[in-house]
Amino acid sequence: MHLAVTTWNINSVRLRFPIVRDLIEQERPDVLCLQETKTPDDKFPAAEFRALGYLHQAIIGNKGYNGVAILSRLPFSNVQAMPMCGKADARHMSVTLASEARKAAGIAIHNFYVPAGGDEPDPAINDKFAHKLAFLEEMDTWARAFQPAGQAAILVGDLNIAPYETDVWSHKQLLDVVSHTPLETQTLEKLRADHGWVDAIRHLMPEPARVYTWWSYRAQDWEAADKGRRLDHVWLSPALAATLSSAAIHKQARGWQRPSDHAPVTVRLSL
């Protein structure tokens, strides 16, 4: 059995539903994890996703900001959303695949949207950056309780950090830029390594390959400039790492009509 999981910061699911539909028609993921859906639950295009075969939906959102969703062709046995840092700001959703999912049964999927962190990488003067660091600390506390090393689990999302030198277009120029500061990159890598998570993209596309998933709207010609960052991640628990068969960044979606500034990422597992 093959399991395909796609993660995508869509930057408004209602505004960009047409390109989500295009991606689904091309890639047909079994599970689609979205971040920054920017819509309250009662406005989420649930019926439209059901028409595309995603009958099983776990969503949490707010009007105009944040929001995460897990949409699946396979049924869930458990759904949970954690209020991170004491804030009900819709930055986490998790599901466990039910017995009807056959060989995928029991796999837990966690979808996170880590705060961007503002512009100044100093928690003493920037509350947004302090929130980001607190969020990462809380993810570490959660992982200590969850113990992914003993689980079949997948962690996906817009983690808003590009951890490696070749995850950004210029390591030297971005060292003081939020998303690639040493404090953020070292914290994220320690979080991943301490709990045994395997970075799926880098497992199959190791450095020194340059790998990006985000290109700013500010660039007049984003593709020619190619000043990207790898902010979107898929991590696998050790129990699933050996099943990883492929990983792809769908860069072409960044050039579609009315695109998100993030490209979707898909991993496929052979179970």
Percent of the chain whose predicted confidence (pLDDT) is above 90: 100
pLDDT of residue 35: 99
pLDDT, mean of residues 145-163: 97
Query: Comparing C-alpha atoms, which of 152, 171, 177 is closest to residue 235?
Result: 152
Please state, rounded to an integer, the average pLDDT across all residues of the chain.
97
Q: What is the 3-state secondary structure (H, E, C) of 72-137?
A: ECCCEEEEECCCHHHCCCCCEEEEEECHHHHHHCCCEEEEEECCCCCCCCCCCCCHHHHHHHHHHH
Fold of domain 2-270: Deoxyribonuclease I; Chain A (3.60.10)
Q: What is the number of other CB atoms lying within 10 angstroms of the CB of residue 35?
A: 30
Buried b (16+ CB within 10 A) or exposed e, 219-240: eeebeeeebbbbbbbbbbbbeb
Q: What is the pLDDT of residue 57?
A: 98
Structure tokens, 167: 């995850």
For 42-89, how does the pLDDT look when each residue is reduced to its tens digit (9 = 90+)? 999 999 999 999 999 999 999 999 999 999 999 999 999 999 999 999
What type of residue is 256? W
Domain ranges of the chain: 2-270
Instruction: Tell me the pairing of strands 265-270 and 2-9.
Output: antiparallel
